[in-house]
Structure 1
Amino acid sequence: MGKYGLLGAHLEYSYSPEIHSKFGDYQYDLIEIPEEKLKEVVNSPEYDGFNVTIPYKRSVITLCDEVSSEALRIGAVNTIVKENGLKKGYNTDYFGFCYMLKRNNIELKGKKCMVLGNGGASAMVQTVMRDQGASEIVVVSRHGEDNYDNLDRHFDSEIIVNATPVGMYPNNGVSLVNVDDFPNLSGAVDLIYNPNKTKFILDATTRGIPACGGLSMLVAQAEKSSELFQHRVIDDEEIDAAIYDIRSELLNVVLIGMPGAGKTFLGRRIAEREHRKFIDLDDLIVEREGMSIPEIFRTKGEDYFRNVETEVLRETCKMSGVVIACGGGIVKRKQNYNLAKQNSRIIWVKRDLDKLDTEGRPISQTKSVEEIYEARKDLYEAWSDYFIDNNQDFN
């Protein structure tokens, strides 16, 4: 069966065991170690091979007996396979990045490409860019010749790849660049996979620019590593199937819709069926504020409530794989869309207005339910990926 693992310094958020389970029946461990233990573990007969992540991709090169040409050109190894007493080093990130570009129809040939960051991931990206015929490659770093203070020199860039951790969980919602500054941008790529869509990717998508996050690269490089571990070819269709499965498992389910439409009821049912945690945003707000929603509206006003609601949404949507029921007015604030969309599928729960359960809910006293619905329905439509028709009896 074989025994393999991931070597790294901080692995608490790694998805690698789940991903590798999609490709083969072998043991796969997370091996979180300090650098002084690296040689001992790599040489240990306990393991038949490894994946390697930050910060050891460069330092393991000297521990390998043979290194592939791609890994040598990049200057980093992320996969080690033990064969006939030899430790062979590879870089499957190269394959993963190429697969991600192809899957999302992002072309590099003849394009001016910008890479954010100058670490090991950046070196791999630059190698692919050269191999695929980029016309110009600009590497931007905090203190290099091209840095974030003189980005205007390269506002004509056509492809931007974020190879930094900026925007990664738990520091979601930030980006190193403003995509509006790049009128020729035809592709936005982020190697970050948690959250599913960083602010950089969401901003590009909103403007109709082809964009992709790093999950497909993560899965594809794992598939290539698994091929090396098992000495067998895995069909590319298995990569797409694994991407779909992993994304489905990791994405939150966010329910939106009118007050009383049944979001909490359905959310609990979905969470129970899919073995997920259920979170009701209004319950969290009540717990935080120590009073009911109508009391907050009455004593502190709607603006105060909406501020608290946004902060609770921000914290909750950083999570993965949970079911979240939102208040009916969550769509009233534009900024809430990105907070929800970064890591979630959004489902609009529809229910006929005459069937809404509005008892005890802070429905406006100055507007009818019909008026509120008319003001929100286009937002519900724009936000949602799917909808549920919830006009059956709750019982």
Structure 2
Amino acid sequence: MDFPILKRKVNGKPLVYFDNAATSQTPQVVIDAIVDYYSRYNANIHRGVHTLSQEATDAYEQSRIKLQKHFNAAKAYEMIFTSGTTHGINLVANGFSSFLRKGDEVVVSALEHHSNIVPWQMLCERTGAVLRVIPMNEEGELVMDAYEQLLSEKTRLVFCNHVSNALGTVNPVKEIIDKAHGVGAAVLVDGAQACPHIKPDVQALDVDFYVASAHKMCGPTGVGVLYGKEEWLQKLPPYQGGGEMIAEVTFEKTTYAGLPHKFEAGTPDICGGIAFGVAVDYMNAIGFDKIAAYEDELLGYATKELLSIPGLRIYGTSGHKTAVVSFNIKGIHPYDIGTIVDKLGIAVRTGHHCAQPIMDYYKIPGTVRASFAFYNTQGEIDTLVAAVKKAAQMLG
């Protein structure tokens, strides 16, 4: 088995891990890469002439090239290492503070994670820009006709997730990008939930910015990537000042380094960046087409079996979604279901999933979310269904 954690027991039961939308598990090959770095060549990068520093620099920059190829970016320096998706979004939001004026408009979708809402609200407060929201429907899809009506010559920026973390809906990002570009707006896509299931092609999408996190893709926490078109990355000011991001410093004037270093102030998570590349290699060796097909089978099976439970409702019923089932049972609080299934060794997520506007739309406090990965099985889904039935009997 590639995932050592899946051998453990929780509350005396074999672990069933269905919280992959929050973080995926880490395969042994990635754990080995982390141990290898700290055991053999732990050193700071880019500025050292000694052997360990050169080895670490080579491994780190090779990882950047792996990410460039994975996302099909035109240049390796368009891939900026970050601490995760949230960091990437805030980096872009901070940069656009220089460009927005009072009365400009920023468009976000109703399906966003708080990480792709709050930075834009803060940006609007700083600049006087106005936040507009693409509405959603009962199926958990964006209302694209309404999106078109929101766009105008005032629209400067559009932000949406590729996949909803709360519902699993796959958004029509190519259409969103093309329509935004039609009015001269830039687009950032939050790919945190898409990247475990889909291999995005940033050039085919023609997206201006795309952000992702390693820990959703079998990698470590605390590291992610921001793709930005070179023309935009050249325009944006640095996000943080410090070492690495400078070309020359005097007390009179500082000049900034070129890409990608302009946005990578300070010592990065070197080990995390290297391990991210190993994780991407691991997933590509399995194949994203295979992953998507298998997870789609799991989704179909889980949907059918869970809907056999009386009073159970699934939220997010789009025909185009990833392996996420977000549900409630009538009259029972999601937290109570989550607590009982945990006692049976099953990890699910309960609450609003940092997507409170979605829950407000459905007028619910939250949901139970089971999110699947390629290492899950139909047998584990059977275990979940039995546990939910038991919880319903106990709580109903």
TM range (shorter): 0.3 to 0.5
Higher RCO, 1 vs 2 (CA within 8 Å, ≥6 residues apart):
2
Calculate the TM-score normalised by the size of structure 1.
0.32
